[in-house]
Amino acid sequence: MGTATLLRIDRDRLQQRLDGLASIGRLPDGGVWRIAYSDEDLAARQWVTAAMQAAGMTVTIDAAGNLIGRYAGTEDLPALATGSHIDTVPTGGRYDGALGVLAGIEAVATLHEAGRRLRHAIEVIAFTDEEGEMIGSKAMAGTAKLSDPEHFRRLNGEAIQPCLERVGGNWAALPSARRTDQDIAAYLELHVEQGGVLESEQCQIGVVQGIVSLQRFQVAITGRPNHAGTTPMHLRQDALYAASLLVAAVHDVAVDIPGDQVATVGLLTVAPNAANIVPGRVELTIDMRDLSLETLGAMVEGLKQRIVAIQASTGTQIELRPQHFVEPTLASPAVQGAIAAVCDDLNLTHYSMPSRAIHDAQEIGRFTQMGMIFVPSQAGVSHAEDEYTSPEQCGQGADVLLHTLMALDEQLDSATHD
């Protein structure tokens, strides 16, 4: 890396930016409410635009409302892109998404103040509505459902068209937001881990292998409601008992297969839900995730076999309905290697791991080389007011981001995209 190792981001300024953005939509308990398309989101966009311009970038907004800061390169090459999102869940933290955008701005500011430009332009992107339907990254990847605006209707009933117009986008022109690898040579996203693996492994940086596939099911278990006192145990068709066996089966199909796959029952409703009635119906959701579609398929097949056995032993009927499926996106081996090499040069410990949460990188990685850098989340907490990553950890991640962009600038050339 030579003299490039002398470049470091300004950690104090990065922390000031994180504090400044967190003040927009701050809740009394210290959390952040900055829902996409809200007045708070609009104010944050204006704040980020000013920060991008101060760092030497020109700023545009595409038809999906993506806020794009561009720092020109010295050659006519596809850009190196970085970023994340600035919208939050209703009771979010100050690091989820925001760190990736602000660290990208800080990386460009560091280059700008040093009077340096890379061969490739750098684009810092704040994607639209990551916490909702991810219309920003999906439009950029060309995977948005252009024929179905209802798919993007807000939970409060508002249509997507006025929402996009509010942030400078245009539903009718949404196809124009699509990019290819001729536009973006590689995409690199810094993000807080949102889990406790790095902390438990005592590693400073996570090198993401890819973003997992997600398979979600809705399940309806139908038994027979009956009197809790007069119905003998051997004559019951207890839907909740069957559900308890199914919950255990979901756990078992995940742990019985070698690997890091996960499976969760996260929502369960019981009817009639009365103290003196044998439950007659239970509805629940099953969420399964892994990088390998083969492993995911094995989990689903194992679950189906166990469902057959549960039905036979309980006299209930179990309906398994697919609800949602997301294809996995693997990180580029070249980008993973560049991140790891930078960590070694900066004397930072690193750990190779999957991302089991969905990020904008999952969509962008469908058309160009993608990589992600994780920094630890204290106690694994995210989407909460006590989400915390220390200033030192944020700075370490931002330094890795900066130097990985510089390494990719040297490694990638136009021949890669012929």
329 pLDDT higher than 50: yes
Does the structure show a pLDDT above 50 at 2?
A: no
- Write the pLDDT tens digit of every residue in 368-409: 999 999 999 999 999 999 999 999 999 999 999 999 999 999
Q: 179: annotated binding-site residue?
A: no
Is 70 annotated in a binding site? The answer is no
User: What ranges do the domains of the chain cover?
Assistant: 2-211+328-417, 213-325
Tokens of 274: 């009365």
- Top-level class of domain 213-325: alpha beta
Local structure of residue 347 (DSSP, 8 states): T
Q: What is the pLDDT of residues 249-284, one digit of tens each?
A: 999 999 999 998 999 999 999 999 999 999 999 999
What CA–CA distance (Å, rounded) separates 222 from 237?
Answer: 8
Q: Which of 164, 87, 72 is nearest to 132 (CA)?
A: 87
Per the CB < 8 A criterion, the answer to whether 283 and 274 are in contact is no
First CA to last CA across the chain, in angstroms? 27
* pTM score of the predicted model: 0.92
- What is the model's pLDDT at position 416? 45
Report CA-CA distances (Å) from 390 to 164, 196, 204: 34, 14, 11
Taking CA atoms, 234 is separated from 28, 247, 302, 307, 313, in Å, by 54, 21, 27, 20, 10
Query: Is residue 276 annotated as involved in ligand binding?
Result: yes
- Tens of pLDDT, residue by residue over 127-177, are 999 999 999 999 999 999 888 899 899 988 999 999 999 999 999 999 999
Concatenate the DSSP letters of all residues of 356-379 into one string.
Answer: -S--HHHHHTTTSEEEEEEE--GG
Quote the tokens at residue 203.
């590693």
Give the Cα separation of 110 and 8 in Å (integer): 7
CB atoms within 10 A of CB 372: 31
Matching CATH number, 2-211+328-417, of 3.40.630.10, 3.60.15.10, 1.10.1040.10, 3.40.1410.10: 3.40.630.10
- 216 assigned binding-site residue: yes
213-325: same fold as 2-211+328-417?
A: no
Q: Is 289 annotated for ligand binding?
A: yes
Q: Is 154 annotated as a binding residue?
A: no
Residue 361 main-chain phi, psi, to 5 deg: -55, -30
Helix (H), strand (E) at residue 324: strand 317-326
